[in-house]
Amino acid sequence: MSIKVPYEKVKETVEKALLQAGLSKEKAEICAKIHAQSSADGVESHGLNRVPRFVEYVLGGLVDPEGEPELIGGKGAVENYDGHLGIGITNALFCADRAMELAKVHGIGCVALKNTTHWMRGGTYAWRMAEAGFMGMSWINTESCMPLWGSDEPGVGNNPFCIAVPREDGPIVLDMAMSQYAYGKLGVYRLAGKKLPFPGGFDKEGNLTDDPGAIEESKRILPTGYWKGSSMAIALDLAAALMANGKSGLNLDEEGRGSCTGCCQIFIAYDPYLFGTKEEIQDMLNKRVAAADASHPEKEGGKVTCPGERTIETRKQSMENGVNVDELIWNQIVAISEGNLETKDIASK
């Protein structure tokens, strides 16, 4: 069952939970803000639902709260960092900001990060770059959690990819895994006792299904666009490992530590006004988005929107009326904030 919790209370409670897990005051505050913002934007799967799991990984030694990005090398607009298994959120924020600093000098900036941990909501960093006036692009490689097309066992990560366009009337932001539904989203539907809106994978008998629990059990999530999604996933895996000179999904599988531990992430920032004026670029963006949004809806009373537009409205509603939170997840986070560190992650199986 879902409940509404005021945004400030959400942030404050998560911060207390992360302090109990051993994070510094500064890092607990930063991470709590990102988790709270993600849920406020409607991305519960990678917002509050990830807090118990993150605490487990910190306590289990899979995340080093004191790890910091270290510059390994740089050439012009490109830099390479070792994340030293530090906190995924703070490592990724550092790299997104560094990519923007490089873009201010070179017009484009690219930061390749290796040996880091789960960044939680990937769109956080694309939104950050777009809201700062840059076009942003980022992606990650993960351990295998999705079958390649034609296989019945996990052979590639679902490797989320994000791109953000800095439209002043509201950024257009795509944040997607290479599976029809990310595992976190399956957990959201399962906890709510709901079926998926569209089939999202196969059950253990090989039947296409909209039952999130059955897909979690079989680990046969459906690649986005069937063979196209799994092909894109393996390409993103290889590109991230190559650019960061880090580990591929195969290496992560062999180590078996779980949830992106030791993964690679790429952050690219681009100055949108390198070859055009601000006025003409923004006018082009606004006209294109308006035309897309004016598309005739398939259902009476429906509305077509570009990615990211509904997020802004969801954020506004969350700030006014409270953040939508699964009650079981919320009770876990409250328990952790009060010192009960034995609470188990229920958002995933």
Bridge partners for 138 per DSSP:
162, 267
Q: What DSSP element (H or E) covers 205? A: none
d(CA 116, CA 266): 11
Surface-to-core class of residue 68, CB atoms within 10 Å of its CB (0-12 exposed, 13-18 middle, 19+ buried) = middle
d(CA 170, CA 174): 13
Q: What DSSP element (H or E) covers 170? A: none
CB atoms within 10 A of CB 240: 27
8 Å CB contact between 21 and 35: no
Scanning the structure block, which residue is given the tokens 């988790």?
Answer: 35
Q: What DSSP element (H or E) covers 154? A: strand 154-156
**Residue 68: C-alpha distances to residues 15, 27, 60, 305, 315 (Å):** 20, 11, 18, 39, 30
Q: For residue 22, what are the contacts with CB-CB under 8 A and spacing of at least 6?
A: 58, 59, 65
Catalytic residue among 46, 84, 118, 296: 46
8 Å CB contact between 148 and 226: no
Is 118 a known active-site residue?
no
d(CA 221, CA 20): 34
Q: What is the DSSP string of 25-85?
A: HHHHHHHHHHHHHHHHTT-GGGTGGGHHHHHHHHHTTSS-TT---EEEEEETTEEEEE-TT
Q: Which active-site residues does the annotation give?
A: 46
